[in-house]
Amino acid sequence: MMVADLPLFAQPAVPPLHRRRDPETSRRAAARVVHRLSPLHQLVLTAVAAAGARGATGRELEQLPCFAQCAPSTVRKRASECLHMGRLVDAGRRDGMTIYRLAVFP
């Protein structure tokens, strides 16, 4: 048995959208929405797809005209959430920032 197989050390596939002390109703609600994509998530995925093999950093995404009305932290947070959902992958670093690329599904 590996240490990662022990419940204490197991990492969830997607970070929970609730706190440990939240009531069960909050936990159930979080489980229902964890994989849903908001229009902003979809826009981030479309922008990263348009970047192709080069990928895009959060800074590059936030400079796109489609995100002109969004705060920089909003765009970066949605990209990070897409990464944690498994929709994007970490493809390295550029200018000190994570490069995002679309995840490839078999």
For residue 46, name the pLDDT band (cuts at 50, 70, 90). Answer: very high
What does the pLDDT read at residue 35?
66
Residue 94 backbone phi and psi in degrees, to 5 = -145, 130
Residue 93's alpha-carbon distances to 3, 5, 38, 71, 98, in angstroms, are 29, 30, 26, 22, 5
Question: What tokens does 27 get?
Answer: 């936990």
Over the stretch 51-80, which tens digit does the pLDDT of each residue have? 999 999 999 999 999 999 998 889 999 999
Q: What is the mean pLDDT of residues 37-52?
A: 92
Distance between CA 30 and CA 14 in Å, rounded?
11
Cβ count near 79 (within 10 Å): 26
> Which domains, and CATH codes, for the chain?
37-106 (1.10.10.10)
